[in-house]
Each structure stands twice: as C-alpha cells, then as structure tokens.
Amino acid sequence: MNPICVGCNQRPQDLPEYVSVWELEREDYENVDEWVIVNEGTLNPENGHFLCTDCYIKAGMPSSPRGWIAP
C-alpha cells in the first residue's frame, strides 16, 4: 500500500509532521509509510487514502460514530 493524503495529494515522506514522528519511532517502523499504515486514524486500508492534519482541519474535522476514514 502506498498511502496518500487525498486532500493535498502528498505522500507521508513529503509531510514533515509524519516524518518527524516516524523519526522518533523509527526503531519500530521500517519507513514512514508503515508508520502511517499502523497509526493514522483516517487511513482507509482498502485504498491507502488518508487526510494529513492540515487537510483534516480544512475538511471540517469529519467524524463518525464508527470512526471516520478517508474515501
């Protein structure tokens, strides 16, 4: 799976917020994509779509009783 933010079309390795967190936890995750796959709450596991923090805020911080995931 190749995660991508569907708001800004950027990959996790291009988003400083994900890179910096992954660098703190890099002994547990092979790469920043793996970190996002395991930890990103908006990730749609079927297609790899997620919203980075900025895009999630711009989208109005969507929520769902089941947990919101990117389309």
E strand spans, the chain: 4-5, 49-50
Q: Provide the residue-wise pLDDT of the chain in tens; the chain has 71 residues.
A: 899 999 999 999 999 999 999 999 989 999 999 999 999 999 999 999 999 999 999 999 999 998 999 99
Q: How far apart are CA 8 and CA 23, in angstroms?
A: 22
pLDDT at residue 17 in the model? 95
Residue 6 and residue 54 in contact, taking contact as beta carbons nearer than 8 Å: no
Is 24 in a helix, a strand, or coil?
helix
Give phi and psi for 49, each to the nearest 5. -80, 140
Q: Is the pTM value of this prediction over 0.95?
A: no
- Per-residue confidence (pLDDT) for residue 20, from 0 to 100: 96
Domain segments of the chain as ranges: 4-58
